[in-house]
Each structure stands twice: as C-alpha cells, then as structure tokens.
Amino acid sequence: MSFTADRLLLFGATGDLSQRMLLPSLCALDADELLDPDLRIIGTARSDLDDASFRNLAREALEKYLPAERRGGMANFLNRLSYQQLDATTPDGFSDLAAKVGELKKGLAIFLSTAPSLFEPTIKGLQHAGLDGDHVRMCLEKPLGVDLTSSCEINDAVAQAFPEDRIFRIDHYLGKETVQNLLALRFANILFEPIWNSNYIEHVQVTVAETVGLEGRVAFYNDAGALRDMVQNHMLQLVAMLAMEPPTSFDATAVRDEKVKVLRAMRKVTAAETVTGQYRAGAISGEAVPGYDEELGKHSDTETFTAIKGHIDNWRWKGVPFYLRTGKRLPERVTEIVVQFRCVPHSIFAGMGATMEPNRLVIGIQPEENITLNLTAKVPGLGQDGIRLRPVPLNIAMPDAFVGQHRRIAYERLLLDLIEGDQTLFVRRDEVEAQWQWVDSIREIWNSTDQKPKTYTAGTWGPSAAIALAERDGVSWHE
Ligand code: BG6
C-alpha cells in the first residue's frame, strides 16, 4: 500500500543507534525540508522519560553527532518528538503506546531495533494494540537472528502481523551513496557491462577494514564475530550488487530478484578457503591498543577478522574468485572493491621489452569515495631502447565531481524510503535467508574442522594466512 507515513515510531529510541544515527538523520532530513510537515516521531524504550526529557536527550545527541551546519531548524525537529515508556516483554503498555501514536491520517512506520528475544513479544504487543493494520509498515534492524533457523523464526513472527511488502529490513550499507553508485556505474554506463564477466575479469576483492575494536559492544560482538557481523549482511550485499544481472528497472522487485539469484549461487567454501583471526595488543595510528582478549577480559574463540575466497556458481562468474576480508583493528578504515581484469590476449609490445599490467578498477566506498581505473599508457620518450608502458590512474573523486552536495548519513536515505514506502534499498526475506545459508555453511566448516582464529597484531592486515589465501593464487590484496 502506498502512503507517506505521518507517524514514525522508534523502538529503542534512547539507545546508541538512535542517538548516533536515527535522530541525527531525521533532523538532517528535516533541515533539508524532506519530512512531511505532519510527521510526528514517537520514541519508545524502557527508560522512564517524558516528552521533555526525551527531547533533551535528543538535543544532546544531535549536538554530539550531527555537524552544526546540518542542524538548522533543530527546534522545529525537536517539536516533532514525543516519548512513551514501554516494557516490550508484556502486552500491557502497548495500548498506551497506541494512544500516544494517536489517530493516523496517512500511516505509521515502525522502526524496530531490539534484542532478538524481544521481536516476538513486541510484534504481539503491536497486534494487541491494533498497530499492525494496512497503514502500518515495519522496519527491522539487525541482528535478525544468529543463523538461518533463528532468522526464519524472527521472519515468521513478523510475517504473522505484516506482509512482506510492508517489511523493511535494514542493511545500512545500502543507504550509502557510494554503494548505490555501484548500480549507476554498472548500469548507466555502456563501458563495463559487456566485460563484466569471467571472460574479462580475473578476480574481485572486497575489503571492509575497520580500526575500531569492541567499542563497548562486548556481549553482542563476542556472540557474533566478524562473519555474522559484517559478512552475512554488508559484504554479501556488496557482492550481490557487484555480481547481479542487470535488473529490468530500478524497482524493488526487479533489483531484489537479481540480488537473490547471486546470493543463492554462492558456492559453499572449503576449510582451505577461509581464514579467521583475532587481534592482539598493537598500535593503531601510533597509539597502543589492547588485544581482544584483554578488552573482553577473558579468552574467546570469536573471530575479529575473516578472509574468504568465494565463488558464484553461474555462467557469468564461472571460475572468478571473490576474495572477501573484513576485520577490526586493521591499519586503516577502508571499504573498497577491486575488480581485477585479465591481461590482453596478445601483447604487440612483448618483443620490445615492455611489461604490461592488466586493467584494474578500484571502487572506494569509504572513507574516500572515488573510482579509479588503471589504464596502461606509454611512458613519454623516443623509445630507442624499446617502448615503456606504465599503468596510469583515471581517477574520479566523487566529492570533487559533485561539489556542494553534502555527505549524508546512510540512514537518511533509508529512513526517508521507509517513511515514503520504497523497498528497493531494503533486504527481502529470501535474500536474508540465502545470506544466512551461506554463512552457516562456513560456520559449519569451522566447527567441523575445529578452526580457531589465528592471532594478529592490532594495526596489521590480519593473520599472515590471509595473505597466503590470496597469494596461493598469485593475487595480492590491494593496499
Ligand atoms: C555494523 C557492525 O553493522 O557496521 C559494526 O555491527 C561495524 O561492527 C559497522 O562497525 C560498520 O559500519 P560503517 O558504516 O562504519 O562501515
């Protein structure tokens, strides 16, 4: 059903995600006059707050997390907010919540970011209070389970109250401009698509490196680990967007139909195709940082790094390895995709002593948003002793190409789409389940072979086995 919501209900409204991302994103949208003037935002959580104290909390969060130049009209934004305390484990408080939401003129969007154990009681409570009709859509934030079984349980519980076309599963990577730009790069340019296959592409690398460690998320992270925290969602979505067939239109069904085909075609990896690691004390940008076990205060077998050599079993990608790696406490924060093309089939320069490097496309997602295509060019000179060739970068720095556009928080795009009801950048149930299926198979391999994380020093690129994983194939990670 198409409607622009005039009520937004935020579960977990006092939590970290809300303070760092959701409230700042909504305020920034408001400052840009992108929110319906009638939109009211109701926060709910366990904390005993009233409207005024919730607005204070929101003001402090905005001052901390939203740059001053994007806070124009903050007072107006704060006026949209109200608060209702709720204990989601019992249905009792939900009718007060419904009263606070009030009568809907257009519709309600609910943002649910909660512990997995609270999904079911929350859905029941919402149903009980009548907050589940045709004019209500439900947005879910991860973690949506810890494996396929628990993910299906959550999806089943939500499906009892909401049909799939009113469920919006967030993967915040899809809200990033540069991730959406992957689609523009591939499908708005004639250049790449004809060579975007195993005939011309030798391998692909996807790196999501972080310098941060546990960041106060000890319990969550230690139960999750890098595979479930980053690969299951963000990295597989990047792979799906990189590898999918051209959808017929930029439409939720068309795009997601193509992504899910890729996710289902991911081959189960073997033990030799994965590496796991856990950081030990080291230094990041010259500053000493403790090891994972020290931060945690106990021994743990949770991986803070993983590298995987994946394959997509279909015609387009036959024999093309996708090297994925992600980790905490790596030397720099960088998310990038490298598409390594093959060598030309025959070099006319070979007899002249020239060496040639194959073309390489590097797509910087963050922090640098740039696209670099390495082309081979002749080094200027008369060439009496042969022709000299060298790769030269064709470089597009996105911020320079689009001066005057501010960098948006990924949640701005996603919250706006949720309010307006566009599911294109949200993950469909079949995608999530295909992602879990692949990830579960990797965890099974780790368990059955008793694979434990190898240690690496904080501030390095993971255990040496990760380098060997690529080097065995004659591939070097792009650094
Ligand atoms: C989250 C993970 O989903 O993504 C975090 O739970 C991680 O562990 C974060 O730090 C990374 O997001 P971004 O946008 O900073 O790359």
Give the distance (Å) from ligand 1 centre to CA of residue 211: 11
Query: How much is the pLDDT for 404?
Result: 74
In this structure, the residue with its CA closest to atom 2 of ligand 1 is 229
Query: How much is the pLDDT for 349?
Result: 85
pLDDT digits (tens, 9 = 90+) for 15-43: 999 999 999 999 999 999 999 999 999 99
- CA 11 – CA 111 distance, rounded (Å): 6
Strand runs labelled E in 225-359 = 274-280, 282-284, 287-289, 305-310, 322-327, 334-341
pLDDT digits (tens, 9 = 90+) for 353-385: 777 899 999 999 999 889 999 999 998 988 777
Give the distance (Å) from ligand 1 centre to CA of residue 127: 32
pLDDT digits (tens, 9 = 90+) for 376-410: 999 898 877 778 888 999 998 888 878 777 789 99
- CA 46 – CA 65 distance, rounded (Å): 23
Query: 1: pLDDT confidence band, cut at 50, 70 and 90?
Result: low
- CA 328 – CA 214 distance, rounded (Å): 8
* Among 135, 172, 203, 234, the one annotated catalytic: 234
Determine the average pLDDT of the residues in 225-246: 98
Closest alpha carbon to 205 in 313, 296, 339 = 339
Give the distance (Å) from ligand 1 centre to CA of residue 474: 30
Query: How much is the pLDDT for 375?
Result: 94
Residue 300 has pLDDT above 80, yes or no: yes
Substitution site in 177, 217, 229 for ligand 1 pocket (most atoms within 8 Å of beta carbon): 229
- Burial annotation 257-280 (CB, 10 A radius, 16+ → b, else e): bbbbbbbbbbeebeeebbbbbbbb
234 is catalytic: yes
Query: How much is the pLDDT for 173?
Result: 97
Determine the average pLDDT of the residues in 162-169: 97
User: pTM for the complete prediction?
Assistant: 0.96
pLDDT digits (tens, 9 = 90+) for 102-123: 998 999 999 998 887 888 899 9
Query: How much is the pLDDT for 40?
Result: 97
Determine the average pLDDT of the residues in 295-314: 97
Q: Is the dihedral of CA 177, 182, 185, 187 positive or negative?
A: negative
**Contact (Cβ atoms closer than 8 angstroms) between residue 204 and residue 312:** no
Q: Does ligand 1 have an atom closer than 6 angstroms to the CB of 229? A: yes
Report CA-CA distances (Å) from 177 to 34, 50, 299. 17, 36, 39
